[in-house]
Structure 1
Amino acid sequence: MSFDICVIGSGAGASPVAYTLAKAGAKVLVLEKGPWLTEKEFYKDELAISLRDAYNPKLTDEQHVIEELYERESGETFWQGEPTSESGWSFWSGTVVGGSSNFMSGYFHRLKPDDFRLKSEFGDIEGANVADWPISYQDLEPYYARVEQEVGVSGRVVDHPHQEPRSTPFPYPPVAEHGVSAWIDEAAQSIGYHTMPVPRAILSRPDMGRNSCEYSGYCSSYGCSSGAKGSGRAALLNHAVASGNCTIKPESKVYKIETDKEGKITGVLYYDKAGRKHKAVADFYVVACQAIESSRLLLASKGGKFPNGLANNQGQVGKNLIFSAGGTGRGDFFYQDLTKDQVNTMKQVGPFVNRALQDWYRIEDKAFGKAAKGGTIDFLFHQNPIARARGSQWDENDNLVWGEQLKQNLKQEFTTYKTLRFEVFNDWLPNDDCFVTLDPDITDKWGDAVAKVRIGFHEHDLKVGEYLAEKGEKLLRAMGATNISSSVSGAPPTNLMAGGCRFGNDPKTSVLNKYCQAHEVDNLFVTDGSFMPTGGSVPYTFTIYANAFRVADHIKQRWQLKQREKLG
């Protein structure tokens, strides 16, 4: 059977395309490597979900090879690769229908106008491949608004020094806030900071056939059992399927996009659950497998016209991979130092802290140096008790304890204090040492070459992250926290990846044009985070959604024109 649109992947970059085209009447096929799970499979079991990585492949079946930089005693540096089946370092973040959008925290900050012109605003940075986007904030703004409506974003707009322009208010009121949010506001005001409520892709009231948030306290890394979280599956694909025009084939692993000698795509080759080979044919093809895997698929799709991989005759596929730079911080609040009412507030479980700082989204501080892009600080509680209990099995001399001593340690851990944390998000500058290739030796369970990922970072990322972390620590001190610390590193967060197929106006330095259409292949589009030439200083999912809706409108126009030509 032939389809109008074939979409490879089903997450934030895929679901808006399937949704938009299916509702327009196009016949859409979605190929997803993982299973099709629903709310009933998304239970809150830390041991099963968080520790056993329930929604991702076994690393012995599917893995990556990660290249890190090492230094010899002589001072010489070298890159060394290690399979993740040996390190246990998983770069998967949700291999199911709806992808990693099922398991996000749903922090939906928009990018700001400066993010679209990083090179023009702040100039070149030596060793970084900084580039302006081929579109502006105003080009994407209507699609941010569409995501807020169609996916369901809860929030409220406040006056803020770095508030980006908006055309509409939030369609849903804010989700319930933890009592400590007011403490953050008060402390911030006392030191001249400006807090802002965090927009969340979580319904604060029932709508669109979905329930509102149930405030279980388990959100990040967990699937949503109420359907309140705006995953691509719950918010968009369910409606696409209901239209009668969208077919989802789960447990279908695409291994090659096939082309003829002229370079025209002739179909998509994939394995089903039983390992049998199939071919899907369509008029338009959309790749949205998440950044690393999208680059891997294009590199593996070699043909007569593309000996180095599909759309890769300029050698740009896989280059300029980015993650999210930054780090974390924490401060403890001991109950003995608080009033009874304050202790009761601190012990509250369920509502979100939902506070962020963006005062330094643009850093103009002589002590830092020349003007630079800064970032975002988000505050949160970690609710996972098993993770919190880790460490209680040791005494202060690192000796293993058990019995009564272990019980006392656990009692102290869970009944005497609580830790407020913050996360720093800032730009991971694209550079020549962060990219995707195919590993020549390691294969997945189907025998296909896995992605080899070099994860080099730029020192500027650390400088910005440390600057922001100091601001977060200052706020915790103003709140009266103790044991305050923070950590910023160049290790990538594996759930925040983009780049590898950046879009731009010059085919020599980019893979895609401004519509995320491959420069070298007329009917191929890449709509996950791969398109981003720079990442901004917020989590990527919101922008991936917005851009995918934008590209979906362009594909819809192309498809409608093709339909008129067939009739005419």
Structure 2
Amino acid sequence: MADEYDVIIVGSGAGGGTLAHRLATSGKRILILERGDWLPREPENWDATAVFVDNRYISKDTWYDQHGKAFQPQVHYFVGGATKFYGAALYRLREADFGELKHHGGISPAWPISYTDLAPYYEQAEDLYQVHGIRGEDPTDPPGGPYPYPPVSHEPRIQELFDDLSRVGLHPFHSPNGVMLDEANPAFSPCIRSATCDGFPCLLHAKSDAEVIAVRPAITHDNVTLVRNAEVRRLETDASGRAVTSIVADVDGEEQRFTGSIVVVSAGAANSAKLLLASANDRHPSGLANGSDQVGRNYVFHNSRAFLAISMEKNDTRFQKTLGLNDWYLGDDDFEFPMGNVQMVGKSSPPMYRGEKHIAKLAPEFTLQEMAEHAVDFWLSAEDLPVPDNRVTLNKDGDVVLSYTQNNREPLEQLYRRVKGHLSHLGMHPHHLIPRDAYMKNDIPVAGCAHQAGTVRFGRDPSTSVLDSDCKAHEVDNLYVVDTSFFPSIGAVNPALTAMANALRVGDHLLDRLR
């Protein structure tokens, strides 16, 4: 390995992996430091018991809540980061999400960039991650050109649901999915529309995750180096505190130092904040780049609810995550505040129900197998608002302490009521709406941190933000952050595509700087 790099990227997920892909053809010396290893391709990838009950791929980390209670966070450390397990629903934020929005529970702040600034990068990210969809089918869709790939077709039961929703005056749409699927040429298509997609790694490498789409192509270039099993412990600066001079990492149990002209952190919202806080020094006594006291604050991860409805007829859908609904995203005549997004969650199966209290109570009425055969699974997302005291801090041992108090819950309840009120028109049993615990082995809701964001937010004012509009730290000249930490607010759709698009935007900025 070279002694010094032009750019060092900490993390290889939606932000870091995509950035590496953008920089790979520049000829500059790029180093990716990934805490995890390649995720093994093995039968357990698609085994619901291994994934959801045994937590085979979950990190062994121990975090603590604000009361000192230990929990195991639902985070994954592999090349590709959280995208190895995401459902590949790649939504753009709505145009209104970039401005200040009044919610039932308070204000969602404006971003320092507009939708127009990010729109061309959304288009590039959709092309890179092979997003399938129909632009404009969703009435809240922001402006843009057509998706690069046609939508993934609905299987029969989901098509019936689509038709029934349309019949009652709603506007369902084909969910924007990042999958390597060519339905016109199925024999040459890696994706087999497996039920094991949302929450599972893809055994076939047919899901558009950051490893397959971004990192593997990047490291085919001689100037890009990937070091796996490298947990970055701290960043060291020069005497002025204005430049990171060294990255200290534990690589396969041994301490190593790496030097780069530009350092980009993309370790996930909690761990990026952890790294900056753990890098405190004389010039940055409260944590690196934390003169504003904003590092770790404003943690958000969506108000979400998973539930299953019992279909009158069997639901033998394999790839269920093809339908979305945003009719209530920004409110309606009876509730003037934004509510959120409705989409399908991955098809449930009996092993997923093990240990779920709500479902266990129904076992005498429905066997688990019968329930799974008739289940139609929904996922609701509403916006939780950035609150300074919802934050990441470190305890005396350097472990993550995640303090979080729920807020703005009424929009989620309103959204749930609207979906529930339509069930009898959708071929469902209206009295069998069953909550699902998406993180089945955890009794602390905050452990399900799949959509974590906001802890190192960007903005124009250095007193209220950590990063500038290019995602460079206000206080450190060569430090950037490109995971979802930079979000000032999270909207109500999946954040991955926004992280990818922003990484491409920051990548162009870095290419200009490196020239």
Offset at 1:380?
3.8
- Deviations 1:312-361, CA, capped at 9 Å, x for gaps: 012110111111113133321244xxxxxxx4xx2x24233411110111
| 1:468 and 2:447 are equivalent in the alignment | no
Matched ranges for 1:506-517 at <5 A: 506-517=461-472
Task: Say which is worse superposed, 518-527 or 33-42, in terms of deviation.
Answer: 33-42
2-side partners of 1:117 and 1:352: how far apart?
32
1-side partners of 2:58 and 2:482: how far apart?
21
2-side partners of 1:416 and 1:485: how far apart?
13
Match 2:246 to one of 267, 275, 281: 267
Match 1:298 to one of 268, 276, 280: 276
TM-score by length of 2: 0.91
1-side partners of 2:302 and 2:514: how far apart?
35
| 1:356 and 2:321 are equivalent in the alignment | no
- Contact 2:455–2:486 under 8 Å retained in 1: yes
2:69 equivalent in structure 1: 82
Counterpart residue type for residue 258 of structure 1: E
Offset at 1:395?
9.1
Counterpart residue type for residue 512 of structure 2: Q
Matched ranges for 1:426-445 at <5 A: 426-440=382-396, 443=397
Counterpart residue type for residue 7 of structure 1: I
2:370 equivalent in structure 1: 414
- Deviations 1:43-90, CA, capped at 9 Å, x for gaps: 3122222222222322xxx211112xxxxxxxxxxxx22122xxxxx3
- Contact 2:348–2:372 under 8 Å retained in 1: no
Offset at 1:226?
1.6
1-side partners of 2:360 and 2:93: how far apart?
45
- Contact 2:13–2:82 under 8 Å retained in 1: yes
Match 2:8 to one of 2, 6, 9: 6
- Contact 2:138–2:325 under 8 Å retained in 1: no
2-side partners of 1:147 and 1:92: how far apart?
26
1:91 equivalent in structure 2: 73
Q: Structure 1 residues 519 and 488, CA, compared in 2 at 3 Å: closer, same or farther?
A: farther
Match 1:241 to one of 198, 206, 219: 219
Offset at 1:389?
5.8
- Deviations 1:269-312, CA, capped at 9 Å, x for gaps: 00111x21100000000000000000000000012211111000
| 1:102 and 2:68 are equivalent in the alignment | no
Offset at 1:470?
1.3
What count of residue pairs does the alignment treat as equivalent? 501
Offset at 1:239?
0.7
Match 1:375 to one of 340, 348, 364: 340
Q: Could you say what secondary structure the match of 2:178 adopts?
A: coil
TM-score by length of 1: 0.83
2-side partners of 1:505 and 1:41: how far apart?
48
1-side partners of 2:53 and 2:370: how far apart?
20
2:440 equivalent in structure 1: none
Runs of 4 or more, structure 1, over 6 Å off, are none
Q: Structure 1 residues 142 and 203, CA, compared in 2 at 3 Å: closer, same or farther?
A: same
- Deviations 1:425-475, CA, capped at 9 Å, x for gaps: 1111011331011112xx3xxxxx1111101121xx211001111121123
- Contact 2:8–2:33 under 8 Å retained in 1: yes
- Which blocks of at least 5 consecutive residues in structure 2 are unaligned? 438-443
- Deviations 1:184-210, CA, capped at 9 Å, x for gaps: 122212321111110101121299xx9
- Contact 2:133–2:150 under 8 Å retained in 1: yes
Match 1:540 to one of 453, 470, 495: 495
Q: Could you say what secondary structure the match of 2:247 adopts?
A: strand
2-side partners of 1:529 and 1:426: how far apart?
17
- Contact 1:178–1:353 under 8 Å retained in 2: no
- Deviations 1:217-268, CA, capped at 9 Å, x for gaps: 1011211112221111100111100112211111111000011220121110
1:75 equivalent in structure 2: none
1:63 equivalent in structure 2: 62
Q: Could you say what secondary structure the match of 1:225 adopts?
A: coil
2-side partners of 1:454 and 1:502: how far apart?
17
Offset at 1:157?
2.6
Task: Say which is worse superposed, 146-155 or 48-57, in terms of deviation.
Answer: 48-57
- Which blocks of at least 5 consecutive residues in structure 1 are unaligned? 68-79, 85-89, 336-342, 399-405, 444-448, 561-568
- Contact 1:118–1:132 under 8 Å retained in 2: yes
Q: Could you say what secondary structure the match of 2:100 adopts?
A: helix
2-side partners of 1:48 and 1:326: how far apart?
24
1-side partners of 2:371 and 2:412: how far apart?
32
- Contact 2:20–2:30 under 8 Å retained in 1: yes
Q: Structure 1 residues 266 and 33, CA, compared in 2 at 3 Å: closer, same or farther?
A: same
1:77 equivalent in structure 2: none
1-side partners of 2:234 and 2:98: how far apart?
33
Task: Say which is worse superposed, 352-361 or 40-49, in terms of deviation.
Answer: 40-49
Q: Could you say what secondary structure the match of 1:362 adopts?
A: coil
Counterpart residue type for residue 540 of structure 1: P
2-side partners of 1:388 and 1:321: how far apart?
29
Matched ranges for 1:336-355 at <5 A: 343=314, 346=315, 348-355=316-323
